[in-house]
């Protein structure tokens, strides 16, 4: 599958999704003018990636574990809905039996951001989420 | 003195005396929003707000501008109802964010229902409401922004609307952030 490399803009976060180097990362500020246009391809990519994981499992007996990093400075409320959809998508990967964890990075002075991670996690309590302060 | 200049002197003095930090009146688009938010960042940097309060201030400003973007009514092909207002001012205790925009009556009813509901809730109630709204589909404008503004500002959102012609109102929202 083709990786997704998007540089950060004033309104959109940096996205670096490249399984060939084990990178699944969304970082920066998120308040896109059209959040659906920005996030739906990422959600669709994650959905399609399951076929790669199944292929690895069937060919090698085990799929590569996924570590998905979020390092957001700010996201608006419209983005929040899509970030939750990403969490749902990641949880589907877990439900299908693949090893996956989310790492939620937050500025130690911004505990609201940690709370946001916990809020998303509360919808998918069985998905492993680690909180890392920076 | 040119009478036009004298008016500007008066407006400037009035705004300065009222503690205005940013005031914008004009067309509204993404570039304008980005530029206004850059100015908000500068105010936060120059303020004595702690990091968390600064983040909340920024988030409230961003959501207020998103809210304008969502409900702003622009008259087709005309300029009579095209100007939007954004103002940040401060007094001894608060930063005050105000927005003003034209809005269609049915949108105004929807928005003010959300504002009344959010203003009736305490922090715990707001968090619960946020949780309910976040998971609601479709992923667009379910009033989450209004809840977010209230949660982060820690206060009520006051509003006023005035009819400008049949079916169109001008609505002003005011949010305060404690210094």
Cβ pair B101, B89 in contact under 8 A: no
Nearest to A123 by CA among B148, B135, B141: B135
Q: What is the pLDDT of residues B66-125, one digit of tens each?
A: 999 888 887 666 666 678 999 999 999 999 999 999 999 999 999 999 999 999 999 999
A1 has pLDDT over 90: no
3-state secondary structure of A40: helix
CATH number, domain with residue B11: 3.30.565.10
B135 and A CB contact within 8 Å: yes
The residue in chain B having the minimum alpha-carbon distance to the alpha carbon of residue A74 is B59
Work out whether the CA dihedral A37, B39, A75, B103 comes out positive or negative. Answer: negative
Rounded to two decimals, the pTM is 0.94
Q: Could you report the per-residue pLDDT of B25-41, keeping only the tens digit for each?
A: 998 889 999 999 999 99
Which CATH number does the domain A4-133 belong to among 1.10.10, 3.30.750, 2.40.50, 3.10.290? 3.30.750
In this predicted structure, what is the pLDDT of residue B79?
Answer: 62
Report cis status (omega within 30 of 0) of the bond before B138. yes
Cα–Cα dist B107/B70, whole Å: 10
Query: pLDDT of B113-172, one tens digit each?
Result: 999 999 999 999 999 999 999 988 655 555 899 999 999 999 999 999 999 989 999 999
- The closest alpha carbon to B11, from B93, B71, B87, B73, belongs to B87
Give the separation between CA B21 and CA B43, rounded to whole angstroms.
8
In DSSP notation, B55-123 reads HHHHHHHHHHHHHHHHH----TT-STT--EEEEEEE-SSEEEEEEEEEEEHHHHHHHHHHHHHHHT--H
Q: Does A8 touch chain B (CB under 8 A)?
A: no
Q: Which residues of A touch B134 (CB under 8 A)?
A: 80-81, 84, 119, 123
pLDDT of residue B69: 85
Q: What pLDDT does residue B141 have?
A: 52
pLDDT, chain A, mean: 96
Residue B124 in contact with partner chain A when CB distance is under 8 A: no
Q: Give pLDDT tens digits for A2-21.
A: 999 999 999 999 999 999 99
pLDDT in tens, A48-88: 999 999 999 999 999 999 999 999 999 999 999 999 999 99
- State residue B77's pLDDT score: 61
B148 touches chain A (CB under 8 A): yes
Mean pLDDT in residue range A108-132: 98
Contact B51 A10 (CB under 8 A): no
What is the per-residue pLDDT for B74? Answer: 78
Residue A14's pLDDT is: 98
Q: Residue B3 — very low, low, confident or very high, per pLDDT cuts 50/70/90? A: confident
pLDDT for residue B12: 94
Domain boundaries, chain A: 4-133
Identify the domain containing residue B86 by its residue range: 3-178
Residues sharing a CB contact under 8 Å with residue A9, sequence separation 6 or more, in sequence order: none
What was the pLDDT predicted at B142? 58
Mean pLDDT of chain B: 91
- Give residue B8's pLDDT band: very low, low, confident or very high (50, 70, 90): very high
- Does any CB of chain A come closer than 8 Å to the CB of residue B32? no
Please count the structural domains in chain B: 1
CB atoms within 10 A of CB B47: 15
Residue B23 has pLDDT above 70, yes or no: yes
In chain A, positions 17-46, which contact chain B (CB-CB < 8 Å)? Answer: 31, 33, 35-36
Please state, as a whole number, how many other Cβ atoms lie within 10 Å of the Cβ of residue B13.
Answer: 10
Rounded to an integer, what distance in angstroms lies between the CA atom of residue A99 and that of residue A62?
9
- Closest residue in chain A to residue B34, using alpha carbons only: A10
Label residue B4 by pLDDT band (50, 70, 90).
confident
**Which pLDDT score, from 0 to 100, does residue A42 have?**
98
**pLDDT tens track for B49-66:** 999 999 999 999 999 999
Interface test with A, best of B134, B138, B141, B153 (most A CBs within 10 A): B134
Phi/psi-derived region of residue B67, left when phi > 0, alpha when psi is between -120 and 50, beta in every other case: alpha
Under 8 Å CB pairs connecting chains A and B tally to 61
Q: What is the pLDDT of residue B70?
A: 83
Distance to chain B for A60, nearest Cα, Å? 37
Rounded to an integer, what distance in angstroms lies between the CA atom of residue B56 and that of residue B28?
Answer: 23
Residue B171: the pLDDT is 96
How deeply is A97 buried, as exposed, middle or buried, from its count of CB atoms within 10 A (0-12, 13-18, 19+)? exposed
Of B30, B130, B139, which has the smallest distance from its Cβ to A36's Cβ?
Answer: B139
């Amino acid at each position: 599958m083709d990786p997704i490399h998007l540089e950060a803009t004033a309104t959109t976060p940096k996205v670096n999704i490249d399984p060939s180097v084990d990178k699944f990362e969304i970082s920066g500020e998120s308040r896109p003018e059209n959040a659906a246009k920005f996030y739906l391809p990422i959600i669709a990519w994650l959905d399609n990636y399951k076929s790669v994981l199944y292929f690895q499992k069937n060919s090698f007996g085990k799929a590569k574990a996924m570590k998905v990093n979020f390092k957001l400075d700010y996201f608006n409320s419209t983005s929040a809905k899509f970030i939750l959809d990403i969490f749902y998508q990641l949880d589907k990967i877990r439900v299908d039996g693949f090893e996956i964890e989310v790492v939620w990075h937050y500025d130690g002075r911004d505990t609201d951001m940690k709370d946001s991670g916990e809020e998303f996690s509360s919808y998918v309590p069985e998905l492993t989420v680690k909180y890392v302060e920076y | 003195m040119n009478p036009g200049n004298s008016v500007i002197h008066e407006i400037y003095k009035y705004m300065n005396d009222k503690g205005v930090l940013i005031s914008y009146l004009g067309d509204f688009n993404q570039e304008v929003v980005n530029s206004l938010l850059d100015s908000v960042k500068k105010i936060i940097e120059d303020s004595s707000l702690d990091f968390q309060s600064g983040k909340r201030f920024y988030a409230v400003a961003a959501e207020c501008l998103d809210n304008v973007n969502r409900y702003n009514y622009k008259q087709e092909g005309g300029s009579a109802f095209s100007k939007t207002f954004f103002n940040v001012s401060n007094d001894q205790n608060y930063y005050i964010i105000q927005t003003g925009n034209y809005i269609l009556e049915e949108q105004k009813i929807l928005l003010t229902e959300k504002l009344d509901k959010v203003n009736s809730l305490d922090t715990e109630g707001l968090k619960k409401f946020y949780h309910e709204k976040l998971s609601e589909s479709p992923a667009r404008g379910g009033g989450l922004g209004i809840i977010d503004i209230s949660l982060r500002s820690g206060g009520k959102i006051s509003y006023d609307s005035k009819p400008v012609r049949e079916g169109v109102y001008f609505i002003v929202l005011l949010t305060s952030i404690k210094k």
